[in-house]
Amino acid sequence: MTAPRPDVRLDDAPMQSVSCAACGAAVLARKSSWDQVTVQWSAEAIATCDERRQSLPPSERPNRNAFAGCGALRAAIREAAVRGQLHVQSDEPLKTNPEAAHG
């Protein structure tokens, strides 16, 4: 039996700090592609995030405490990636919507 292969993704592309422009919550983020992001929340970021505080109150029911994500933080992560402050692992170019410029 062979040993499991170690996960070295974070060695090649460590998570980087990104702060929300709306509330200042700082999370660690890593973008594998323009469509995928991994976010690690600290206890301080959870307490700071306006959208998390306004979400449903805690519950004992399964998945009731699931948080779909913060729109303001999502925008901050995308902006950091577009500006080159958050490295995107994939070599594929940023997807654009040429029709949006004409709408």
pLDDT, tens digit, 9 for 90 and up, residues 25-38: 999 999 999 999 99
Q: Is 91 helix (H, G, I), strand (E, B) or coil?
A: coil
Q: Tens digits of per-residue pLDDT, 43-65?
A: 999 999 999 888 766 667 676 66
**Can you give the residue ranges of every domain in the chain?**
16-53+70-90
Contact 90, 33 (CB under 8 A): yes
pTM flag (> 0.85): no
Collapsing DSSP to helix, strand or coil, 88 comes out as strand
Q: What residues have CB less than 8 Å from 53, skipping those under 6 apart? A: 47
